[in-house]
Amino acid sequence: MNLPQRARVVVIGGGVIGTSVAYHLAKEGVTDVLLLERDRLTAGTTWHAAGLMVTFGSLSETSTRMRQYTRDLYASLEAETGLSTGLRQCGFIEVAADLGRLEEYRRVAAFNRHLGVDVHEISPKEVLDLFPLARVDDVLAGFYVAEDGRANPVDVTMSLAKGARQRGVRIMEGVAVTGVLRARGAVTGVRTPFGDVEAETVVNCAGMWARQLGEDAGVSIPLQAAEHYYLITEPIDGVHAGLPVLEDPGAYGYFREEGGGLMIGLFEGQAAPWSVRRVPDDFSFGTLPPDWDRMAPYLEAAMDRIPVTTTAGVRTFFCGPESFTPDLAPIFGEAPELRGYFVAAGLNSIGILTGGGIGRALAHWIAGGEPDVDVTGMHIDRLQPYQRNLRYRAERTVEALGMVYQTHYPHKAMRSARGARRSPLHDRLAPLEPYLRDVSGWEMPDVYGFPGVPKPSWSRPEWFPQWASEHRAVREGVAVMDMSFMAKFLVQGRDAGEVLERLSANRVGGGLVTYTQWLNERGTIEADLTVTELAEDRFWVVASDTAHRHVLARLQRHTADRHAFVTDVTSAWAQLNVQGPRSRELLAAVSDTDVTMPFRGARELEIGYARVLCLRITYVGELGYELYVPAEQAVHVYDRLVAAGADVGLRHAGLKALASLRLEKGYRDYGHDIDNTDDPLSAGLGFAVAFDKPSFIGRDAVLALRDAGPPRRRLVQILVTDPSALLFHGEVVRRDGRDVGYVRAASYGHTLGGAVGLALLDAGADGLDQAWLDAGALTVLVADREYPVRASLRPLYDPTSARVRA
């Protein structure tokens, strides 16, 4: 075996994702690439994938763009390599047979059309005309994309591999990677039975083996293989190669032509994890024994959509493994544990239809140093190490695969593998009957007085009155919120302040709380958080739960060679937010310390027998405080607040109120309405940039943006003037009848009297300012209904922040 001694990049895994990464690295000019496949190309999952090529269906701009790019790539690859990808643009139909799915697909269709997907809502008769074998008596509508269809996964992989080789990539089959070499927190190469290979970058594209390969390198990759099924019938009259792909999630199935018959693919409601302890190293092109008894009800439901399949002969009932992640999003990006170690795995059955886009995005990241697409929803560091525990994976995977074909109602959450992380106040809050939500594994109150599981709905939820009441309590009186899930770090040492000044776009220090963004060299946002100077060599950093590991990794990497030390104190300190116009009155009643402090002030308070770090800061737009309490004293402090709160009308408020309050005020939330593709100016956060600082990461890029004038694209606040409408995410905004953007995050503004959201709008050649917003008629498209909206660059609630500074 003539194994090279070094390569700039080693890609592990020769499926569609590994070959795509290698191909796109070469296109980026990184040709010193070695792809190692332990068996043969396509081994594992790729060889038995169904090969659907569908651009319709996602409310993620990143995922939709990846699908579009992938389809275009598969259409053009043969001209470059001489090898067909088997792409057949025979059309795709999604059917909705219930009102919940119809609402979802109308919302998705509007969003997808905005991004350039040519999707059309069609009648049941039109569905029948396109797919004459289908039963449509219960179908409400279909959603049709003529340019979608199917590809051949093996052909795609071989074409990508040839394209990579033509550009200088070396691909070696029969070479297993048995370990990853590392030194001083960075990858240095890989180990194989034929010797070691030095490398600057290693990319784990090992599919269902990615988790155990990652564990060997100290990297957490929580994915799990599960049984995945399809049935292929004998030839059926009327089935031909031009028949469109038909998908009916309500019946658990999709249908496409295969050898003159039909392939019936299944996503059952209750899945079966496979090989939970360890995927066998020698399992390459194997199949699993199908469980007819378990799958029969799902298969019968699917066949009922195409009645002729019930009498057709069965050629194959196939079961093979495919990997799924805890939240059904890919695991993508550089591992927080190890510099230079990238992962692209856990594609949740969309590996073929996003494979080109995944490979392009990761290659760009490796070659250029930063991703050029929003990766906040798929970044590997969003996941927690405990999620790779055997019991967690075994339980969550049963539900996760089944979620693929469920209606994606708002507020819907996974119910399995819960209870892993609890606030110190969990038991104290239980008698208040909170509806608990999974917040990065924490069990946190979403709304109080509603202990059951809400009925899924696109209209006002059952707990709408409780939510409105909690919202009003914060605006009019005082409420306490358990925010213990927030990520908290203590940064200490002689160089701590210098490191944080370098990281932060705003000026930190002065004994104050500083709201700031951390940028990359391109000037786009890596984190959105607060930094509080406790002493000259001691700082308190607070970020959101989803950014926990991302912020920790960034801190660790920037303090590695400095006299600065990072301690993750998230679990050691509870966080209680006391918010509302009577919050100062409540604090004064429980503290033996003077609670008078300016906005952004920080002080240690005595509350009972506890010493509490108190920051005067708000995320709801009112006078308010964040109390950080040692975990062992959290109950003691909470009890004091509740006892004194009886005299000031203290209420409890959950995360639904937090969301509606912050969106009324226009406060941003990284990973929801701002992401790594946004710069502070387009995000409306220029006020948090200290342009006069001599140096911070991204300064030159942001200065150039500022000097270029008003941004063309801008995040703006919108309010729907019809109080009956509800916004969630992805609704398209129009100006004078033309699409100009979409809603990134939304809630209901109980004070403003309508749905509120933050929308990213594009003014085209014009700079986007308030005059541009006021000069046009703005509307928002909610499914198939259009509503007038008000839009503002300033907060619609308390625009001068007089209440915050009261």
> Each residue of 641-682: pLDDT tens digit?
999 999 999 999 999 999 999 999 999 999 999 999 999 999
Query: Are 70 and 691 in contact, with CB atoms under 8 Å apart?
Result: no
What is the b/e burial string over 288-324, where b = at least 16 CB atoms within 10 angstroms of the residue's CB?
A: bebeeeebeebbebbbebbebbeebeebbebbbbbbb
Task: Indicate if the pLDDT at residue 102 is higher than 90.
Answer: yes
Cβ burial of 641 (10 Å; 0-12, 13-18, 19+) is buried
Task: Indicate if the pLDDT at residue 504 is higher than 90.
Answer: yes
Please give the Cα distance from 99 to 74 (Å, whole number). 35
pLDDT of amino acid 421: 97
For residue 453 the two structure tokens come to: 């599981």
For residue 52 the two structure tokens come to: 């659907």
Please give the Cα distance from 71 to 51 (Å, whole number). 11
Tell me which residue of 546, 804, 806, 516 sits closest to 683, measured CA to CA: 516
Please give the Cα distance from 736 to 775 (Å, whole number). 9
Query: Are 488 and 570 in contact, with CB atoms under 8 Å apart?
Result: yes
Task: Indicate if the pLDDT at residue 430 is higher than 90.
Answer: yes
- Of the CA atoms within 13 Å of residue 667, those in its CB half-sphere come to 21
Please give the Cα distance from 605 to 742 (Å, whole number). 44
799 CA to centre of own chain: 30
Three-state DSSP state, 260:
coil
Tell me which residue of 668, 662, 708 sits closest to 685, measured CA to CA: 668
Task: Compute φ and ψ for 527, nearest 5 degrees.
Answer: -160, 155
Q: What is the mean pLDDT of residues 592-598?
A: 93
pLDDT of amino acid 439: 97
CA distances from 11 to 7, 201, 360 (A): 10, 8, 14
Query: Are 44 and 70 in contact, with CB atoms under 8 Å apart?
Result: no
* Contact residues for 296 (Cβ-Cβ < 8 A; gap 6+): none
pLDDT tens digits, 37-95: 999 999 999 999 999 999 999 999 999 999 999 999 999 999 999 999 999 999 999 99
Task: Indicate if the pLDDT at residue 277 is higher than 90.
Answer: yes
Average pLDDT of the chain is 97
pLDDT tens digits, 292-349: 999 999 999 999 999 999 999 999 999 999 999 999 999 999 999 999 999 999 999 9
Please give the Cα distance from 202 to 217 (Å, whole number). 11
Q: Is the pTM of this model over 0.95?
A: yes
The domains found in the chain, sorted by start residue, are 6-368 (3.50.50.60), 421-486+570-678 (3.30.1360.120), 710-806 (2.40.30.110)
pLDDT of amino acid 333: 98
Task: Indicate if the pLDDT at residue 767 is higher than 90.
Answer: no
pLDDT band at 417 (very low <50, low <70, confident <90, very high): very high
For the chain, give the percent of residues with pLDDT over 90.
98
Query: Are 780 and 789 in contact, with CB atoms under 8 Å apart?
Result: yes
Task: Indicate if the pLDDT at residue 537 is higher than 80.
Answer: yes
Tell me which residue of 608, 612, 635 sits closest to 625, measured CA to CA: 612
Please give the Cα distance from 673 to 667 (Å, whole number). 10
Q: What is the mean pLDDT of residues 488-515?
A: 98
Residue 311 is given by DSSP the state T
Q: How far apart are the first and last CA of the chain?
A: 74
Please give the Cα distance from 552 to 136 (Å, whole number). 53
Query: Are 590 and 640 in contact, with CB atoms under 8 Å apart?
Result: yes
Please give the Cα distance from 392 to 641 (Å, whole number). 36
pLDDT tens digits, 131-187: 999 999 999 999 999 999 999 999 999 999 999 999 999 999 999 999 999 999 999
* Contact residues for 643 (Cβ-Cβ < 8 A; gap 6+): none
Query: Are 339 and 185 in contact, with CB atoms under 8 Å apart?
Result: yes
Query: Are 756 and 746 in contact, with CB atoms under 8 Å apart?
Result: yes
Count CB atoms within 10 A of the CB of residue 104: 22
Query: Are 340 and 200 in contact, with CB atoms under 8 Å apart?
Result: yes
Tell me which residue of 360, 445, 441 sits closest to 396, measured CA to CA: 441
Q: What is the mean pLDDT of residues 343-370?
A: 97
pLDDT of amino acid 452: 85
Tell me which residue of 701, 711, 709 sits closest to 741, measured CA to CA: 711
Query: Are 502 and 555 in contact, with CB atoms under 8 Å apart?
Result: no
For residue 213 the two structure tokens come to: 């390969």
Tell me which residue of 647, 611, 572, 575 sits closest to 425, measured CA to CA: 575
pLDDT of amino acid 584: 98
What is the b/e burial string over 14-27, where b = at least 16 CB atoms within 10 angstroms of the residue's CB?
A: bbbbbbbbbbbbbb
pLDDT of amino acid 765: 84
- Range list of β-strands (E), 702-763: 713-720, 732-735, 738-749, 754-762
Please give the Cα distance from 563 to 499 (Å, whole number). 9
Task: Indicate if the pLDDT at residue 1 is higher than 80.
Answer: no
Q: What is the mean pLDDT of residues 567-582?
A: 98
CA distances from 663 to 463, 526, 752 (A): 19, 21, 11
Cβ burial of 280 (10 Å; 0-12, 13-18, 19+) is exposed
pLDDT of amino acid 766: 80
pLDDT band at 453 (very low <50, low <70, confident <90, very high): confident
pLDDT of amino acid 502: 98
pLDDT band at 232 (very low <50, low <70, confident <90, very high): very high
Please give the Cα distance from 119 to 576 (Å, whole number). 47
Helices 153-166 and 61-81: crossing angle in degrees, nearest 10, is 70
Task: Indicate if the pLDDT at residue 122 is higher than 90.
Answer: yes
